Amino acid sequence: MTTIRPFETDDLAAAGQLLALRHAAHRRAQPLLSERYEEPKAAEVEIAAVLEQEDASGAVAVVDGQLTGYLIGAPKPSPVWGPNVWVESAGQAVENPETMRDLYALAATRWVDEERTAHYVLTPAHD
CA nearest to 11, candidates 56, 64, 51, 38: 51
Contact yes or no for 88/48 (Cβ under 8 A)? no
Residues 6+ apart with CB under 8 A from 123: 87, 89, 92
pTM for the whole thing?
A: 0.94
Half-sphere exposure of 97 (CA within 13 A, CB side): 4
Q: What are phi and psi of 97, to 5 degrees?
A: -55, -30
- Per residue in 69-118, pLDDT (tens digit) is 999 999 999 889 899 999 999 999 999 999 999 999 999 999 999 999 99
